Chains A and B, each alone.
Chain A
Amino acid sequence: MYQALKRWALVPAAGLLVSLAPTAAGAEDRPPPLPIEPIGVIETLPATYPESWFLVHDAAFFHMSDGKVYVIDSAEDTVAEQVKGTFNVALMGNILHSARRGEIYAVETFHERGTRGERKDYLTIWDQQSLAPVAEVFLPGKKRFMGMPSRETLLLLNDQRWLAIANFSPAASVTLIDLEKREIISQVPTPGCTFVYPSGDRGFSSLCADGRFMSTSLERDGSIAQQVRTDAFFSTDVNPIFERAAIINDTGYFPGFDGMVWPVDFSGKTAKVGEAWHLVPEAERAERWAPAGIGIIAEDDLGRFYVLMHPDAQDGSQNGGGPEVWVFDPKKQARVARIALKEWGLSITVSRGKEPKLLVTNPVNMGMELYDAQSGDYIKTITDIGQETPLMLYRAE
């Protein structure tokens, strides 16, 4: 549409030239005519998305069956150049990008007649160059996890040959997909435990209602090798953690509602929970800073993680977002930067590479602010790309 608009925009300009030209220099001196344009050309995207690209998941909260992902280039300054393409993700779906496979996985739900008729869930595989759906895997059981957009419902495992999809119906389970054959391998029950975090080479862990992980390791054929419940390490009533984690070199960092962060070693078959440390420096604890938002946490390629923070935390403020993003060095267990946001933030992500950029959804006008993730400097606001509720942001892998 933008491309088309742009081309139309040329017409009046050309007309102007035509009407001016004769008076200026006579009909014979007109510039050569425009080349004839082919019909039916469709753009494609590069095999590797540049570091400045992001995937903006607009869950379309006001018309959810029409959710959408915008592929954008944050280095550009005009909407026409920022928007690279879009694809749909129906009814509060979730996505995961694999650069290695050149594919974007989307789990979505359809009813035969819009909001009515039989419900069918699909894994849709989008080719990252054509942004066209290249395959669909039907997901039986009407059970895929459906809720606020989440990075924790899809996981690549087994050297990216498999995809794990979290289900909640409300029985909890995981559907395993073979991405090479594009078919279901198995259904793994995870009773009482939700989400999929990495675990070893061929496994995943889930978070349980009683404050522990359940780690599932899988045989070559996708059947269960073992399922182990770790010791409980927090109380889901008293000091709950967020299900949202930054994952750096096989270690997950899970912030708590109370401002602590739990490191969890996911390198082995069974999740190993380490000692929690405080995100908030002692001198500032009286201000009651704590994480809050939807996409509250992200990691960069320099080994640091970022958390959206708000002061005066209280019961009920944990999803509201915040005015600052704090940057942590997990090795030092210390905050290394504090970025005061230009606008209130609701969800964050950080681009890959050595010069990371921080992208933040602001709930005030649903625009997105871009910051230099190292200096914290505000760079620009990206908005008016057609987005309505960009609740979850992803870096281009």
Chain B
Amino acid sequence: MKFLDRMMEQRSRELAQRSSRRGLLKGLGSLLVGSAAIPLLPVARASAAGNPGQPVEEGDPSSCDYWRYCAIDGFLCDCCGGSANTCPPGTEMSPVTWIGTCLNPADGRNYVISYNDCCGKSSCGACLCQRDEGDRPPYRPDATNDINWCLGTSSAAYHCSTAIVVGVALEDS
């Protein structure tokens, strides 16, 4: 799911304050900053420095810039009563979805991300994001975010999107 601006601007002022909105205003294309340019936002998980041996992940799961949202297109469940990897109460998670990879700048690994939609209620309305790294048109359904993935759920109403880490990508493949 994709698009636009003033809407996002109006409806997610909070988000606007936290992430670089200029990019969005200049046509969503320039939003797609490289990982190096992503400011490190509030720490979502203990940092390596504090807890050696712990997995690390940094960033704000309610911001479009969050590393694992590199190809998300829609409302962030984190802003809708769910989280980056859970659905809001009373919704249904789509079992059918599409999969991509995103680079976690905190540990330098690429992860396999499953973008399951949460369904059964109307559009969440908050934190609308559009990032399309690796996105393909719907003729490549395994790699497209242009489809309403509320498939295999009892309701086709799209509510919000998650980005679930389901694996570590292989290097050089």
Contact = CB atoms under 8 A, between A and B. Distances in A.
B122 interface: yes
B147 interface: yes
A323 to B, nearest CB: 7
Interface in A94-138: 109, 111, 114-116, 119
Interface in A305-334: 310, 312-323
B6 A64 contact: no
Given A61-B3, A344-B26, A363-B5, A320 B133 contact: no
Interface in A184-212: 193-195, 206-209
A168 interface: yes
Interface string A351-363: 0000000000001
A91 to B, nearest CB: 6
A391 B3 contact: yes
A9 B20 CA distance: 45
A294 B139 CA distance: 15
Contacts of A286: none
Interface stretch (B59-67, B124-132, B161-169): B124-132
Interface residues of B, number: 50
A62 B139 contact: no
Interface string A363-397: 11110000000000000000000001101000000
B137 interface: yes
A169 B96 CA distance: 9
Contact of B28 (A111, A236, A319, A365): A319
A314 B128 CA distance: 21
Nearest to B28: A320
A194 B141 contact: yes
Given A292-B29, A317-B132, A147 B147 contact: yes
Contact of B4 (A193, A310, A346): A346
B45 interface: no
Contact of B122 (A63, A209, A292, A318): A63
Contacts of A169: 151
A242 interface: yes
A228 to B, nearest CB: 17
A66 to B, nearest CB: 9
Nearest to B120: A115
Interface string B1-19: 1111111000100000000
Which range contains the number of A residues in contact with the other chain? 35 or more
B123 A61 contact: yes
B148 interface: yes
**A147, A206, A242, A317 — which one has the most chain B CB atoms within 10 A of its CB?**
A147
A315 B133 contact: yes
A65 interface: yes
A389 B11 CA distance: 13
B55 interface: no
B136 A236 contact: yes
B132 A316 contact: yes
B71 A316 contact: yes
B1, B29, B121, B133: residue with the most chain A Cβ atoms closer than 10 Å: B29
23 contacts: A91-B156, A109-B156, A115-B122, A115-B155, A119-B156, A145-B147, A146-B150, A147-B138, A147-B147, A148-B146, A168-B141, A194-B139, A209-B139, A241-B137, A316-B32, A319-B3, A320-B27, A323-B27, A344-B26, A363-B3, A366-B6, A388-B7, A391-B3
Interface of A: 61-65, 91-92, 109, 111, 114-116, 119, 142, 145-148, 168-170, 193-195, 206-209, 236, 240-244, 292, 294, 310, 312-323, 344, 346, 363-366, 388-389, 391
Interface of B: 1-7, 11, 25-32, 70-71, 73, 96, 120-123, 125, 128, 130-143, 146-148, 150-151, 154-158
